[in-house]
């Protein structure tokens, strides 16, 4: 009752006028973050040891001046600020530069590799969120039971296991050992499959990397959801629901869980962005042709345009997801709308 | 009533799902790896990156390796890395070594059936010579060429600026003029439906995933016995070993000794440790100097003393390192020429290897005036303790292991070591700038040692900021330079071999770089799928990563007997798809049951 009294009579109008302001505020914050990322990304990678021109020509018989010519071609002979200005200028036209190693536009390379990364992280995220939330609310509802102990225990064990180790173990057992799943790649090399057969082939290749990612990340959703539901469990409205004669699982799924989801939403979207940036290990273990591995290769060159491009994409993913989380939270929680 | 029946329903559904999964799993387990037949390409595990397949600009090992299968040079490499027929089958040199004439037989054809002529050769060479954008891969090989012309469709005449022993017809892939002149040669990807002259040509390339090549029916040595080659991208060799076991790939190289050991006795897998063409050495900073003769870097000045460097050589027990670190999978190092190049291998007359001798090293250091302090560490001429930095690559487990042994041996001769394992780029940069005392180095050599020798000449020293040329140790010796020049211009093969050995012996005798071993590349392949790989060198050489195309060109299907292994079991994707179907069915049933229950319990 108290809550209703504090909401102004013209609350609808207030929400209407504050939404664009809220949006502008959040979008502005996201844009500033992105600008900082661009600056940081450029200068941060310049401290990587190694001269790209020297590294690229090392071990080969190069004609006199070849290294210098390469440095000129790459723009490395220019002062750092000039290089930065060119980078920012090109960025506005969607040009992330040309990779030193692959000698292709970075946007093309990212275009080639981003699809597999999105497929892998998207699948893993959906399964992790579903599994984590479902187990989390169940565990909270049965707090202290064997179900609770086993599932939180297992999730925490997986959470603390090194991803590389877990991936290799799965690969060893279900790849080379039992031969149930492919040991690498996104599809069977030289396969002529098309249509549904190709989809199934990709799905087959997706299983082990997704299982690895899910095993490592679902724990955080489980724990947050569990904590959130536990908090709700002491709320008065649940007693009211029970007093109405509702079955226990309906009290949980219809009343406790929707409210407990609120704090979890932000976490889900925040971690989605981080997931994309954190695929290096899984992509390396399972030879998945994704962005994480591309960035790793860029770092070892060092291929500045490539690492900068990947860094901008990864950071943008985090920022965008953060932005969506802010918006969704506002949509889902009426208290935020009216405040 | 329904609420009490739901657990039972769930249990039933779960049981059905598990049973179905186990059945599918059982069926799939019986699915054997497909045996090879004439229609199947040989699948090769590929670990390294591909920059481009454009032979003018491709520099990465994997790209140039695949290009070897696609494009012949004028002169190729035979089974023992000797000059052998390529696009040309004969060649001769004028007495002064300036004019080289190459003869192209009339049976040479491109994979599209068109004749290979002298025009193709002239187009390739002049493109590199005249266009800087096309010099990325082989620009250094044409600097001594003054002119290339076709005197008739079957004859190419090359005029050099000065005499040189390395054959100018080698290493440069010849491209078909009729295809390339219609392209922007610097930007042409050349990764689809390639027209080439080698045993295989690329049909398609999936970035970061696979490369497919098909057999060239017009290859002048005869069409390969396998239909093609598929390179399968792996990002780590552990996964490739598993792929080999499951039959997803037919051959993998670059295995670690541990992986190689793990395949011992594995069913249908043959292991192969060939003679390598890479040396591993301990480099000592003798006082790095730039191209202008000025000191560069921060090497310990005490190491300018050759006696101290010799004592360090004496404290390295190569045999123990080879046995303990490499499990014996290599050959003991001598000069920088690996054992695979027998003609240039070993010391010249009058030179010999420094033996492992800790007592001898201590005696030498005592005589040279390096006295031991109270802590057992010797002091240099200025009274500073002899403690050196040792740098290795953190990507090479062997470097850290070797460092442990060296620390122990060096301690016994009163020298301290400060070991750091860093990224390969850091090693490259610091060694180029002379910022080291000791570091682990190593290079792979081509069949002609000229390039490796050139890297150690005075002219190869870099500029003060590390730009310019690449030197191995930023070292300069007029005696070495004289030996280099002599071998470079010597056209008599026998005399040149001796001069090359002498040059490498001079380098060794300066105690700047101590070759420890020549690692054996470790390979494994499915013996039930393919056989007949052509080794290079012919006796005990390697299958992949050759100077030629013999490895896969010689491959043939292992035989029809293994084909019976294929019993038509379920394809691998059946398990996940089956699981999805079963889970979806179970989920649907649960949802349906919940709908029924909630309808009765509505608020």
Least Cα separation, residue A102 to chain B (angstroms):
4
Extract the tokens encoding B184. Answer: 């922007």
Residue B60: phi and psi, rounded to 5, are -70, 150
Name, of B96-100, B427-431, B599-603, the range with top average pLDDT.
B96-100
In degrees, rounded to 5, the angle at the alpha carbon of residue B552 between the alpha carbons of residues B561 and B117 is 135
CA-nearest residue of chain A to B575?
A180
Are B440 and B405 within 8 A, CB to CB? no
Average pLDDT over every residue of B564-569: 37
Residue-wise pLDDT for B401-459, tens only, equals 999 999 999 999 999 999 999 988 788 888 888 999 999 998 888 899 998 898 899 98
Given phi > 0 = left and psi -120 to 50 = alpha, else beta, which region is A97? left
Closest of B555, B592, B450, B488 to residue B223, by C-alpha: B555
B45, pLDDT greater than 50: yes
**What's the pLDDT score for residue A62?**
57
Which residues of chain A are within 8 Å of residue B233 when distances are taken between CB atoms? Answer: 184-185, 287, 289
Element (H, E) at B441: strand B438-444
CA distance B221 to B138: 26
Retrieve residue B77's tokens: 């490499």
How many CB atoms are closer than 10 A to CB A240?
12
**Angle between the A257-277 and A195-233 helix axes, to the nearest 10 degrees?**
130
The answer, yes or no, to whether residue A281 has pLDDT greater than 90, is no
Given a contact cutoff of 8 angstroms between Cβ atoms, the answer to whether B445 and B341 are in contact is: yes
| Distance between CA atoms of residues B330 and B339, nearest Å | 10
Enter the ipTM.
Answer: 0.78
Give B355's DSSP letter.
Answer: P
Which one, of B259, B526, B30, lies nearest residue A180 by Cα? B30
pLDDT score at A11? 40
- When CB atoms are compared, the residue of B41, B239, B429 closest to A50 is B429
**Contact call for residues A233 and A260 (beta carbons, < 8 A):** no
List, edge to edge, every strand of the sheet that includes B330-332. Answer: B330-332, B513-519, B278-284, B438-444, B387-393, B416-422
Nearest Cα neighbor of A301 from A89, A68, A97, A45 is A45
Task: Reply yes or no on whether the pLDDT at A143 is more than 80.
Answer: yes
Q: ∠ CA B228-B273-B341 to the nearest 5 degrees?
A: 90
**Rounded Cα distance, A203 and A30, in Å:** 35
DSSP B281-338: EEEE-S--B-TTS-B-S---GGGG-HHHHHHHHHT--HHHHHHHHSTT-EEE--SSS-
Q: In 3D, which of B57, B61, B429 has the Cα closest to residue A98?
A: B57
Question: CB distance B240–A184 less than 8 Å?
Answer: yes
Cβ proximity of B364 and B393 under 8 Å: no
CB contact under 8 A, A293 and B208: yes
Q: Is B242 in contact with A183 (Cβ distance < 8 A)?
A: yes
- In A, residues 18-77, which contact B (CB 8 Å cutoff)? 48-51, 53-64, 66-71
Contact yes or no for B575 and A283 at CB 8 A: no
What's the pTM value of the predicted model, to 2 decimals? 0.81
A256-to-A323, A329, B185, B409 alpha-carbon distances in Å: 26, 17, 66, 69
Assess contact for B443 and B279: CB atoms under 8 A: yes
Residue B511 has pLDDT above 80, yes or no: yes
Indicate whether B597 pLDDT > 50. Answer: no
Mean pLDDT score, B238-257: 92
Q: Cβ(A258)–Cβ(A185) under 8 Å? A: no
Select from A45, A46, A50 the residue whose CB has the most chain B CBs within 10 Å, as the one to mutate to test that interface.
A50
Q: In this structure, what DSSP letter does residue B468 have?
A: B
Alpha-carbon distance of A274 to A278, in angstroms, equals 6
How far is residue A84's CA from residue B400's CA, in Å, rounded to a whole number?
38
Interface of A with B in 69-88 (CB under 8 A): 69-71
Kindly indicate the confidence band of residue B160, based on its pLDDT and cuts at 50, 70 and 90: very high
Percentage of chain A with pLDDT > 70?
Answer: 86
Mean pLDDT of chain A: 80
User: In the numeric block, which tokens belong to residue B410?
Assistant: 């060096």
State the pLDDT confidence band at B357, using cuts at 50, 70 and 90. Answer: very high
Q: What is the pLDDT of residues A42-76, one digit of tens each?
A: 887 777 666 677 666 665 555 556 667 777 777 77
The pLDDT assigned to A49 comes to: 64
Q: Is the peptide bond before A212 cis (omega within 30 degrees of 0)?
A: no
User: CA angle, B362 as apex, B361 and B367 as ends, to 5°?
Assistant: 100
Q: Kind and range of the H or E element at B483?
A: helix B478-489
- Is B245 in the A-facing interface, judged by CB distances under 8 Å? yes
With vertex at residue A130, the alpha carbon angle to CA A125 and CA A135, rounded to the nearest 5 degrees, is 125
* pLDDT tens digits along A227-278: 888 887 777 777 777 777 777 777 777 777 777 777 777 777 777 767 776 6
Nearest CA in chain B to A207: B576
**Is residue B256's pLDDT more than 50?**
yes
Q: Say if strands B99-103 and B90-93 run parallel, antiparallel, or are unpaired.
A: antiparallel
Q: Report whether B351 contacts B505 (CB < 8 A).
A: yes
Query: Checking DSSP bridges between strand B200-206 and strand B210-215, what pairing results, if any?
Result: antiparallel
Residues B375 and B470: their CA atoms lie apart, in Å, by 40
Q: Return mean pLDDT, chain B.
A: 86
Q: Is B79 exposed, middle or buried (0-12, 13-18, 19+ CB in 10 A)?
A: middle
CB-based contact B22:B578 (threshold 8 Å)? no
Q: What is the pLDDT of residue B285?
A: 95
Under a CB-based contact definition with an 8 Å cutoff, are residues A31 and A17 in contact? no
Residue A180 to residue B423, Cβ atoms within 8 A: no
Q: In which band, very low, low, confident or very high, does the pLDDT at B518 lie, cut at 50, 70 and 90? A: very high
């Amino acid at each position: 009752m108290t809550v209703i009294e504090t909401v102004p009579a013209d609350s609808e109008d207030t929400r209407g006028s504050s939404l664009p302001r809220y949006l502008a505020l959040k979008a502005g914050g996201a844009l500033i973050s992105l600008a900082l990322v661009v600056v940081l990304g450029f200068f941060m990678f310049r401290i990587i040891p190694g001269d790209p021109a020297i590294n690229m020509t090392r071990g080969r018989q190069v004609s006199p001046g070849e290294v210098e010519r390469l440095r000129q071609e790459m723009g490395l002979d220019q002062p750092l600020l000039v290089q930065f200005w060119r980078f920012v200028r090109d960025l506005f036209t969607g040009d992330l530069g040309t990779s030193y190693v692959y000698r292709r536009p970075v946007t093309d390379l990212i275009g080639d590799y981003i699809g597999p990364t999105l497929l892998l992280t998207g699948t893993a995220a959906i399964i992790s969120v579903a599994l984590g939330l479902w187990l989390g609310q169940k565990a909270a509802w049965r707090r202290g039971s064997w179900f609770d102990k086993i599932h939180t225990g297992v999730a925490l064990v997986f959470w603390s296991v090194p991803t590389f180790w877990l991936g290799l173990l799965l690969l060893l057992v279900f790849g080379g050992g039992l031969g149930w799943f492919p040991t690498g790649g996104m599809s069977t090399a030289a396969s002529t499959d098309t249509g549904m057969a190709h989809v199934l082939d990709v799905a087959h290749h997706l299983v082990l990397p997704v299982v690895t990612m899910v095993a490592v990340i679902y724990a955080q959703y489980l724990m947050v959801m569990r904590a959130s539901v536990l908090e709700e469990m002491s709320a008065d409205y649940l007693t009211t629901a029970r007093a109405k004669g509702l079955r226990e699982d309906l009290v949980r799924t219809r009343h406790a869980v929707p409210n407990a989801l609120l704090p979890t939403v932000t976490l889900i979207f925040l971690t989605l962005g981080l997931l994309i940036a954190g695929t290096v290990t899984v992509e390396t273990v399972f030879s998945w042709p994704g962005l994480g591995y591309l960035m790793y290769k860029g770092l070892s060159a060092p291929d500045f345009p490539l690492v900068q491009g990947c860094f901008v994409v990864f950071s943008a993913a985090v920022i965008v997801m953060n932005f969506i989380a802010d918006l969704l939270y506002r949509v889902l929680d009426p208290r935020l709308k009216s405040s | 009533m329904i609420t009490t029946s739901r657990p039972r329903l769930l249990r039933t559904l779960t049981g059905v799902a598990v049973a179905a999964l186990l059945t599918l799993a059982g069926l799939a387990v019986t699915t054997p790896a497909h045996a090879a037949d004439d229609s199947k390409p040989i699948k090769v595990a590929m670990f390294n990156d591909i920059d481009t397949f454009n032979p003018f600009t491709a520099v990465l090992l994997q790209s140039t390796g695949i290009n070897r299968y696609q494009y012949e040079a004028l002169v190729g490499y035979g089974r023992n890395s000797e000059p052998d027929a390529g696009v040309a089958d004969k060649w001769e040199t004028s007495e002064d070594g300036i004019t080289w004439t190459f003869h192209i037989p009339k049976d040479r054809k491109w994979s599209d059936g068109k004749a290979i002529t002298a025009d193709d050769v002239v187009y390739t060479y002049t493109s590199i010579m005249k266009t800087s954008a096309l010099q990325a891969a082989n620009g250094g090989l044409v600097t001594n060429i003054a002119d290339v012309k076709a005197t008739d469709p079957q004859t190419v005449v090359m005029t050099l600026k000065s005499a040189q022993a390395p054959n100018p017809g080698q290493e440069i892939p010849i491209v078909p003029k009729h295809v390339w002149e219609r392209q922007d040669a610097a930007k042409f990807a050349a990764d689809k439906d390639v027209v080439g002259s080698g045993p295989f040509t690329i049909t398609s390339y999936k970035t970061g995933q696979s490369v497919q090549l098909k057999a060239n029916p017009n290859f002048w040595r005869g069409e390969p016995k396998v239909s093609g080659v598929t390179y399968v991208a792996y990002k780590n060799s552990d996964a490739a070993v598993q792929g080999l076991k499951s039959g997803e790939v037919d051959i993998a190289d670059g295995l670690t000794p541990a992986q190689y050991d793990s395949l011992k006795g594995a069913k249908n897998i043959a292991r192969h440790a060939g003679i390598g063409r890479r040396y591993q050495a301990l480099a000592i900073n003798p006082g790095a100097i730039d191209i202008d003769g000025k000191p560069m870097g921060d090497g310990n000045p005490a190491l300018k003393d050759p006696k101290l460097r010799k004592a360090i050589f004496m404290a390295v027990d190569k045999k123990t390192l080879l046995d303990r670190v490499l499990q014996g999978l290599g050959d003991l190092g001598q000069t920088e020429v690996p054992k695979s190049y027998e003609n240039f291998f070993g010391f010249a007359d009058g030179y010999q290897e420094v033996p492992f001798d800790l007592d001898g090293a201590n005696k030498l250091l005592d005589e040279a005036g390096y006295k031991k302090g109270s802590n057992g560490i010797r002091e240099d001429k200025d009274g500073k303790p002899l403690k050196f930095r040792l740098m290795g690559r953190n990507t090479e487990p062997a470097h850290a292991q070797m460092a442990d042994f060296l620390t122990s041996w060096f301690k016994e001769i009163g020298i301290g070591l400060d070991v750091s394992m860093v990224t390969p780029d850091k090693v490259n940069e610091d060694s180029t700038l002379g910022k080291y005392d000791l570091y682990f180095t190593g290079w792979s050599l081509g069949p002609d040692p000229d390039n490796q020798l050139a890297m150690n000449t005075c002219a190869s020293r870099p500029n003060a900021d590390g730009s310019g040329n690449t030197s191995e140790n930023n070292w300069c010796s007029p005696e070495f330079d004289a030996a280099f020049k002599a071998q470079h211009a010597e056209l008599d093969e026998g005399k040149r071999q001796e001069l090359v050995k002498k040059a490498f012996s001079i380098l060794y005798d300066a105690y700047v770089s101590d070759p420890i071993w020549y690692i054996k590349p470790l390979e494994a392949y499915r013996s039930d799928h393919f056989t007949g790989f052509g080794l290079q060198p012919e006796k005990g050489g390697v299958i992949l990563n050759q100077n030629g195309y013999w490895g896969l060109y010689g491959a043939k299907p292992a035989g029809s007997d293994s084909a019976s292994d294929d019993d038509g079991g379920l394809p691998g994707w059946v398990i996940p798809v089956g699981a999805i179907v079963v889970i979806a069915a179970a989920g649907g049933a649960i949802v349906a049951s919940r709908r029924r229950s909630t309808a009765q319990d509505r608020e």
